[in-house]
Structure 1
Amino acid sequence: MQNKTKVLTVAAVVVSFLCAVSLALAGTKVDDVIKMENKSAYEKHTKGIIMFTHKKHNEEYKLDCGECHHDDKGAPLKLKLGDDVQPCLECHTKTGMPDRKALAGLSPADKKKAELEYHYGAIHENCQGCHETYNKEKVGDARKGPAPVSCTQCHPKTAK
């Protein structure tokens, strides 16, 4: 009888441990390349869809998750590969492009805040801003260098 209790206790501990490990490892599978397309927000894309090389940015360029993924205050999130993340559109809810005339009279801080309400603004600020900083560090010019910063460098041409 005592042996049966010990066996059941050990089995319960092992099952609990396996459940804890599987929960800790659970998360979202992250594709090596992510097609930056959102059909629910955009009826039609006006430029080619960007193919974001997630694995390359994470492993080869050694970027932490928080370089791109942030909280509602802009602070980097402390994530590990496979953690669930919200899509950009969860917070940057406006689609299309901001009205440049409406932004013209705003202070730089208010202009940036208004642009970041847009999915377009958030993506371009995050990606292009990082690429410009990288280029400036590497070759001294934000607009020239190895990281793409122009429309055609990121958005492939689409068939017409």
Structure 2
Amino acid sequence: MKSKKGLMVLIAASFLFAISFVYAQPQDVYKLHWDGGKFPPVDFTHKKHIENYKVDCKVCHHKDANPAEKAQKCTTCHDVAEAKDNAPKAMDAYHKNCIDCHKKENEAGKAAPTKCNECHKKS
């Protein structure tokens, strides 16, 4: 009887460890949005952009020495309300980076969203 109980405890502990490992992984989908935003948040997936599309981290995290190890939030430099210290406001920085790249992808024959509601999807 003891061995069954021990086996059950081992199985339960293994399950809990596996669950905690999954939830401890770095976040892949980020909601790009701030309070007072006019449109719904944008779901941004690092995995797609890095692995599938081969976008270098420095394209977005251009001020970080090693963005793969530690990256600042865009709003650290890009203010939500206004352009400051030669940095465009956050919305303009996102739109320039994202839309310009997406347009280049479309010109190369690859599908990438360029219209507001293609990224800012209503829930």
- In the other structure, the counterpart of 1:84 is 70
* Aligned-partner Cα distance in 2 for 1:62–1:47: 28
How many residues get paired?
Answer: 98
Q: Determine if contact 1:31/1:55 at 8 Å carries over to the other structure.
A: no
Unpaired segments of 5 or more residues in structure 2?
A: 1-24
Q: Which runs of 4+ in 1 moved over 6 A?
A: none
Q: What do you get for the CA RMSD once the two structures are aligned?
A: 2.5
Q: Which has the larger radius of gyration?
A: 1
* CA pair 125-118 structure 1, distance change in 2 beyond 3 A: same
Once residues 53 and 85 of structure 1 are traced to their aligned partners in structure 2, the CA distance between those partners, rounded to angstroms, is: 15
Matched, 1:93 2:85: no
Percent identity (aligned) = 35
- The answer as to whether partners of 1:65 and 1:78 remain within 8 angstroms in 2 is no
8 Å contact kept, 2:58–2:67: no
Which blocks of at least 5 consecutive residues in structure 1 are unaligned?
Answer: 1-28, 72-76, 99-113, 139-144
CA shift in 2, pair 1:94/1:49, >3 Å:
closer
Which has the larger share of strand? 2
Task: Spell out, residue by residue over 1:111-142, the C-alpha distance to the aligned partner (whole angstroms, 9 max, x if none).
Answer: xxx7x52111001001111111111122xxxx
Task: For residue 30 of structure 1, report the CA deviation from its aligned partner.
Answer: 3.6
Partners of 1:48 and 1:152 lie apart in 2 by 9
Aligned to 1:146: 111
> What is the one-letter code of the residue matched to 2:28?
D
* CA distance 1:117–1:67, shift in 2 (3 Å): closer
Matched, 1:65 2:57: yes
Q: Distance in 2 between matches of 1:78 and 1:69?
A: 9
Describe the SS at the equivalent of 2:47: helix
Q: Give the match for residue 34 of structure 1.
A: 30
Matching of residue 136 in structure 1 with residue 107 in structure 2: yes
Match in the other structure for 2:6: none
